Chain A
């Protein structure tokens, strides 16, 4: 009874129990599985060849050297892919937000005649697609196959993001605000630009990040619809690099992988870090927006 009196809420008991300890331990272990692999790869990437070859590098670098990174940064195709990815992601995000707003705002208006039919038309692609081969042939006819536009245009309209934005408009922007602006003679586009969008900054930030991170991380379309070397985004580049290294290692597994394999291992670690570090640096700042977007997305429209 004193226990109850001494605190409130779900976590009232003050004594630190065994169960508290066990739960903290579980969480610490799970966190370790998320952190240690990357520390290991990072340590490898700045270690000397011999140390890595003798399997002496765990979570701390040995014979520190930046040679591998110099080679990665010196490799024009890597830096090119990185910059290309940045460029594509920027264009993709801007166009994506534009098309998303153009769809979500009208469809968020209850009074819009034909709203249901339009919404249906805009949502169908989320549930049923024609598949990659008809899409491949379509892009061929549109002359965007194996150009940078095939990495941008087909995906800028996202039904899921549109739904999130529409839900946000419907739930957050009071109708009365728009009605009074309307009575003052403002047009629909003026209302959108001057009233609705300034009030929607959080969702605009969230969806821009959804678009940007989504584009940044995916590479299936890069595999399907492009052939040219200068259209490889950085994730696809990393995938190919590691896949070919793995196959080479597998092939030479019989004749006991010799010294020649150690160097690629450091180089590979440096390449992984080259691609991973940017996102590790920024994701702690992104997560709050992602959480917010996921919540709005969970409420059905």
Chain B
């Protein structure tokens, strides 16, 4: 039955365009709207990429600006700001991955072991909260909490006599780096558990029963049953995250930005926005943007290959 259906579908796909149109013209008509949108607002921007080979001047436009070959790339590769932006982006993204990736896995394992269903449900709802908030909100609450002199965290610690002077959590670059990363982990940890918890639900209860008859305690069950059970989800998500090592999120960066931490806050998105868009260095900004997207694309394709080699579902 299933086979004959498949065969039928194949035959229909092989129909001539004329027949396909006669049968499905309404579907093609529906498709027209999204196609127009995607061409007008996405594809139409691609030709603009030619400005990376130009010295684009906003006043002169594409037609009037001069072609300069690879000069723009030479310029960005010898630009210290660019080096700083690349270094910061890569270092912060890797650090994000290192501390941020394991956290949802650990949290999912813990949530799965919780004994009271109601307690589990309420805590899940609370832990999901940061996912629904904008970086503007998270940033402004964080600034309120971590102000050196009047932020709650410093006030409490000073009152308890743990510290004498307020810690500049968001006002000194090294402290900022740690705070920025931890807030990122905090923001993603609750929501990140969802796919792991779903994978855990898929593990057969019989495995646990058998393990218990064999005398395996909770930690052994976690280690030998739960973790292997979610391995493929872990691998897939890890690979997906590796593909984002060059990315940078302007909203998150500006929400925590201030003039004292520019040294570390200056990542690729900031470079493109400040130097490219705001200071009119359009060609350089676009070249950096292109550099970033191309590396991102290559990383995603490589990740997909690796995932498939490891026998997991790919991403593409």
Which positions in A face B, CB cutoff 8 Å? 3-4, 8-13, 16-17, 19-20, 23-24, 26-28, 30-31, 33-35, 37-38, 40-41, 44, 55, 58, 98-103, 105-107, 109-115, 118, 121-122, 124-125, 127-138, 142, 153-154, 156-157, 162, 175, 187-189, 192, 213, 216-220, 223-224, 235-236, 238-239, 241-243, 246-247, 249-250, 257, 265, 268-269, 272, 275-276, 279-280, 283-284, 286-287, 290-291, 294-295, 298, 300
| B137 interfacial by beta-carbon distance below 8 Å | yes
Asked if residues B208 and A111 are in contact (CB atoms below 8 Å), the reply is no
Asked if residues B137 and A291 are in contact (CB atoms below 8 Å), the reply is no
A-B CB pair tally, cutoff 8 Å:
284
| Binary interface encoding of chain B residues 221-241 relative to chain A, with 1 for a CB under 8 A from any of its CBs, else 0 | 100000000000000000000
Asked if residues B9 and A122 are in contact (CB atoms below 8 Å), the reply is no
Residues of chain B with a CB closer than 8 A to A220's CB:
250-251
Per DSSP, are chain A's interface residues mostly helix, strand or loop, or mixed?
Answer: helix
Closest-CB distance, A189 to chain B (whole angstroms): 5
Give 18 A-B pairs besides A133-B286, A133-B289, A287-B132 with Cβ atoms closer than 8 angstroms: A8-B209, A19-B113, A37-B144, A55-B150, A102-B33, A106-B28, A111-B13, A113-B17, A118-B35, A131-B272, A156-B37, A216-B134, A223-B273, A235-B134, A242-B139, A242-B143, A250-B258, A272-B144
Asked if residues A55 and B259 are in contact (CB atoms below 8 Å), the reply is no
Residue from A4, A130, A241, A291 within 8 A of B46 (CB atoms): A130
| B136 interfacial by beta-carbon distance below 8 Å | yes
Q: Which single residue of chain B is at the shortest CB-CB distance from A138?
A: B45
- A31 with B48, Cβ < 8 A, contacts A113-B15, A257-B149 known: no
Residues of chain A with a CB closer than 8 A to B260's CB:
250
Residues of chain A with a CB closer than 8 A to B26's CB:
187-189
| B53 interfacial by beta-carbon distance below 8 Å | no
**A92 vs B196: C-alpha distance in the bound complex, in angstroms?**
32
**A132 vs B286: C-alpha distance in the bound complex, in angstroms?**
8
Q: In the complex, how many residues of chain B place their beta carbon closer than 8 angstroms to a beta carbon of chain A?
A: 103
**A12 vs B44: C-alpha distance in the bound complex, in angstroms?**
60
Residues of chain B with a CB closer than 8 A to A55's CB:
150, 155
**A140 vs B217: C-alpha distance in the bound complex, in angstroms?**
65
Interchain residue pairs A-B with the least CB separation, the first 7? A134-B48, A131-B289, A113-B20, A103-B34, A130-B45, A217-B134, A106-B27
Closest-CB distance, B22 to chain A (whole angstroms): 11
| Binary interface encoding of chain B residues 20-61 relative to chain A, with 1 for a CB under 8 A from any of its CBs, else 0 | 100110111011111101101111111111010000000000
- A106 with B132, Cβ < 8 A, contacts A41-B144, A300-B315 known: no
Residue from B31, B133, B139 within 8 A of A118 (CB atoms): B31
Asked if residues B38 and A110 are in contact (CB atoms below 8 Å), the reply is no
Asked if residues B145 and A111 are in contact (CB atoms below 8 Å), the reply is no
Q: Which single residue of chain A is at the shortest CB-CB distance from B148?
A: A253
**A131 vs B45: C-alpha distance in the bound complex, in angstroms?**
8
Closest-CB distance, A156 to chain B (whole angstroms): 7
Q: Which single residue of chain A is at the shortest CB-CB distance from B219?
A: A19
Asked if residues A30 and B107 are in contact (CB atoms below 8 Å), the reply is yes
Closest-CB distance, B108 to chain A (whole angstroms): 12
- A157 with B41, Cβ < 8 A, contacts A127-B300, A133-B286 known: yes
